[in-house]
């Protein structure tokens, strides 16, 4: 069937009209979208800024809503008194909940002393561990000094290098492959078995230094974050300090780390002192070695924004 020129011309006109209509509809939609953005754009921008600020403050951090153990929630019960080991057990909330507080040190004058009567016998076997969050290059974490003693700290040839050693010996590792970055939490500590000082970070073996003998105890007190003999101060936070009269095994140290920052002591029979630093400097080992706060030590509750559970 032959189509006339008139019909062909008519179809072309209809096609042009349809294209114009389509363009017009698209323009109207685009104009509406721009008006919507102009009307609600500022509100969307403000909401985005608020959400970013809340995220930065840790409001959306799952740790914010995790249960927090109050001060003294878990402690060691010694029915026969301090220093005894018969029938001892843990009492309270000891499931590894996060602490409400940690101790924050200013790096200049703040520290915690524990009585010099703290027993470290037998001194050929000892373990000392603590959770730390250094905010800058720091030194003291746990010390018992004098002419000799023990210490774990953060020091070395570069900022943030970890060292744990028997004081009065060359107990620093010869190499420093691990740097404790500011703003992160670490479990650090060492064991001494009469011949070797073994250092650990986050439950893993770090390095060892040979030393044969015993730890010469001194009359100076054990201290956290600063003096016993003014060797330096830590700038940052410390939590869950534990000292034992035994050399913990590698498996026990790994288990201690996996318990997290709110974990209970791993070996009650050989526990000398346990200072969670959850709101106070009390010793919850049942041995009564409470600490004395010196200087500007603050117990802060917003510590967990930088904490990642093991």
Lowest average pLDDT, out of 42-51, 83-92, 151-160, 255-264, goes to 151-160
Question: How do residues 39-97 score in pLDDT, each as one tens digit?
Answer: 666 666 666 655 555 445 555 566 677 889 999 999 999 999 998 999 999 999 998 89
Same domain, 99 and 186: yes
| Domain closes at, from 17, 37, 60 | 60
Does 40 lie in the same domain as 161?
A: no
pLDDT interval class at 228 (50, 70, 90): low
C-alpha to C-alpha distance for 207 and 308, rounded to whole angstroms = 24
Assess whether 236 and 283 both reside in one domain.
yes
Q: Are residues 13 and 119 in the same domain?
A: no
Residues 6 or more apart from 204 whose CB is under 8 A from it?
A: 254
CATH classification of the domain holding 169: 2.60.120.200
Q: Would you say 152 and 188 are in contact if contact means Cβ atoms under 8 Å apart?
A: yes
Residue 270, domain extent:
66-306
For the stretch 172-221, pLDDT in tens is: 555 555 667 777 898 988 888 888 888 888 999 887 777 776 665 555 67
CA atoms of 310 and 259, how far apart (whole Å) = 8
Tally of domains within the chain: 2
Do 101 and 249 belong to one domain? Answer: yes
36 and 158 housed in the same domain: no
Diameter over CA atoms, the chain: 118
Q: Which of 60, 86, 103 is the last residue of a domain?
A: 60
Q: What is the pLDDT of residues 6-20, one digit of tens each?
A: 554 444 444 444 555
Starting at the earlier edge strand, list the strands of the sheet with 222-224. 162-167, 149-154, 140-144, 222-224, 111-114, 291-294
Indicate if 16 and 113 belong to the same structural domain: no
Mean pLDDT of 159-179: 51
Residues 193, 142: one domain?
Answer: yes
Rounded distance between C-alpha atoms, residue 130 and residue 166, angstroms: 16
d(CA 23, CA 139): 72
Please check whether residue 309 is in contact with residue 260, taking contact to mean a CB–CB distance below 8 angstroms.
yes
Q: Is the pLDDT of residue 4 over 70?
A: no
């Amino acid at each position: 069937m032959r189509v006339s020129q008139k019909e062909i011309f008519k179809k072309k006109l209809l096609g042009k009209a349809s294209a114009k209509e389509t363009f017009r509809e698209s323009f109207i939609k685009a104009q509406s979208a721009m008006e919507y953005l102009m009307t609600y754009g500022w509100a969307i921008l403000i909401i985005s800024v608020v959400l970013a600020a809340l995220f930065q403050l840790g409001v959306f951090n799952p740790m914010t809503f995790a249960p927090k153990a109050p001060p003294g929630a878990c402690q060691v019960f010694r029915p026969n008194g301090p220093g005894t080991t018969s029938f001892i057990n843990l009492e309270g909330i000891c499931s590894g909940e996060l602490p409400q507080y940690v101790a924050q040190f200013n790096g200049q004058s703040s520290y915690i002393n524990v009585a010099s009567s703290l027993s470290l016998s037998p001194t050929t076997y000892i373990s000392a561990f603590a959770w730390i969050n250094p905010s800058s290059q720091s030194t003291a974490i746990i010390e018992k000094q004098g002419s000799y003693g023990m210490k774990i700290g953060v020091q070395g040839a570069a900022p943030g290098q970890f060292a744990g050693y028997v004081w009065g010996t060359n107990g620093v590792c010869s190499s420093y492959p691990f740097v404790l970055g500011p703003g992160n939490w670490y479990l650090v500590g060492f064991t001494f078995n009469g011949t070797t000082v073994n250092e650990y970070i986050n439950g893993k073996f770090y390095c060892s230094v040979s030393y044969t003998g015993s730890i010469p105890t001194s009359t100076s007190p054990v201290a956290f974050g600063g003096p016993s003999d003014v060797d330096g101060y830590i700038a940052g936070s410390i939590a869950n300090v534990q000292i034992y009269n035994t050399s913990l095994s590698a498996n026990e140290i790994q288990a201690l780390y996996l318990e997290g920052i709110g974990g209970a002591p791993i070996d009650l029979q050989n526990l000398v002192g346990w200072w969670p630093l959850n709101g106070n400097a009390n010793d919850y080992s049942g041995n009564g070695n409470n600490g004395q706060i010196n200087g500007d030590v603050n117990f802060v509750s917003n510590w967990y924004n930088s904490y990642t559970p093991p």
